[in-house]
Chain A
């Protein structure tokens, strides 16, 4: 097990290096000189060249990349923002907690609502309650998230005036962003939970449990739920990671000073150190979350756990990995 974790963590390093390389290549290939953008159209050619030298933009490609990578590893230096002239690492650290809080609360909220709704729909199959739950979740999936955010702002912020529409100075400010973040996740979780639950309820051991004369409650919550939850965990993990990307929009709409808003500002200003570093950090978090999900998967499912113990099952393990990756893709 430890070896597996170690292997996965080691695999993370080339991935992150490659991401930094790719981001730099894309930035390099795009037209538009950052020094020119910074100085404005009135600057002379000499001024632009001077700034290019200062920013290190005249160095060869690999020199710039190497300086960037070694800066991160040796000094924790992610570069300096071209706009604010402050270290990117410091700015990101200040903003990090907002994004993390938003994503965690949003995901928790989605789990607390989505899973019960899914169980409810599955246990009431072939009734109007099930149809309603399915229909609502389909609508929620088909809705643009940013549009839903605007609708809740209009309803709770403007019409009823019970919640603030932007800023997170008080706890009340978090409610609308979290609801907006969670909507899509709730719907997908409910659908996944429902189908897994229906699948599980058809298994033989459920018939056995019923035949033993256990109450329906006990059958559903003790016997079926445990098994039906396993695939859901992967989905939750994938969504938790995916919402790191989704938080970009939510943070901009609700003006939350998080990492997403920082990235967006960087993209709009073509502030390359900011773009590069925030994509790197978000991807790093995303990869770590996916790793945690894989490990959790092993913790909850004894069938997978046993594969870590048996070395000969290596091929199968790989197959499972691929399968899981595909599920995650479908979820995201």
Chain B
């Protein structure tokens, strides 16, 4: 037991050692951590409340009191961006959690059992994937009704088939390994084999996809909010803020600029970290 733990640690350490070489990935990791911390401590950091209106001070530019100005209702944009990080990140992480958990489970079952189970699941996924993903998310969110929870469900469900297929391919490569055979010979239950032996060994390639998936979920989530199907006013969310600023883009373009930049930076950080992780996890690049 002790040796196993040590080995796990050293594996993590090895990945970290590789990741450290990639400056961009490390920077992205810290940027992401910073955004998460900002989201967690939003009430402490934000100078104003996100729904505090001040009709006397609407559409201000940058001032000493309002660093990024105010929107048309006189709400402080900086505070709204800080609070918006909460909703945007909740959307990104929860959606990916739903999509990845369901997708990985389905993919593992399909890949492990093969045969007709695999065939049925794959044909069902074919049907699923005949609808373009964006359209599927928008339609689901619209039919379920606009709210943060429904947007998360719609995004999560949209992510399932991609992860299921990747997991299936990954499971197929480990299914016939000796340690699985050994577990079987010891009368290990199928559920235990899948959970204890197959998933941990097959999940490696998924980590990169999940990291990048957080980014794409933040992006799609912002899009859903932009068309009014995500977070509802007066709650702050980056996509919703862009949508609100759209009407006044002629006069006050910066109101639209800042939340978009936030989305871009977080998604960029996820993508760069994912790229870095891919290299770090690739044993061929190790020396």
Name A residues whose Cβ lies closer than 8 Å to a Cβ of B: 11, 14-16, 18-19, 22-23, 26-27, 30-32, 138-139, 141-147, 150-151, 153-154, 158, 241-242, 244-246, 248-249, 252, 263-264, 267-268, 275, 279, 282-283, 286-287, 322-323, 325-326, 329-330, 332
Contact = CB atoms under 8 A, between A and B. Distances in A.
B34 interface: no
Contact of B223 (A142, A144, A154): A144
Interface string B199-227: 00000000000000001000100110011
Interface of B: 122, 126-127, 129-136, 138-140, 142-145, 161-162, 165-166, 169, 215, 219, 222-223, 226-227, 239, 242, 246, 249-250, 253, 256-257, 260, 263-265, 267-268, 271-272
A245 B142 contact: no
B143 A30 contact: yes
B132 A139 contact: no
A23 B142 CA distance: 12
B135 A252 contact: no
A248 B249 contact: no
B249 A283 contact: no
Q: Which 6 A-B pairs have the closest CB atoms?
A: A245-B132, A245-B134, A147-B260, A267-B142, A245-B135, A142-B267
B227 A141 contact: no
A250 to B, nearest CB: 11
Nearest to B269: A142
Contacts of B272: 138
A18 B120 CA distance: 13
B264 A286 contact: no
Contacts of B135: 244-245, 248, 263, 279, 282-283
Contact of A142 (B127, B132, B139, B268): B268
Contacts of B260: 143-144, 147, 150-151
B130 A287 contact: yes
A245 B133 contact: yes
A246 B265 CA distance: 22
Nearest to B268: A142
B249 A158 contact: yes
Contacts, number: 140
A283 B131 contact: yes
Contact of A144 (B126, B161, B162, B242): B242
A147 B142 contact: no
B264 A143 contact: yes
Contacts of B161: 329
A282 B250 contact: no
A267 B139 contact: yes
B65 to A, nearest CB: 26
B133 A325 contact: no
B250 A158 contact: yes
Given A138-B268, A142-B265, A267-B139, 8 more contacts: A146-B226, A242-B132, A245-B132, A248-B138, A283-B132, A286-B130, A326-B166, A332-B162
A26 B140 contact: yes
B127 A19 contact: yes
Contact of A242 (B130, B133, B222, B265): B133
B139 A147 contact: no
Contacts of A19: 127, 130-131
A153 B145 contact: no
Given A245-B132, A249-B227, A326-B166, A139 B249 contact: no
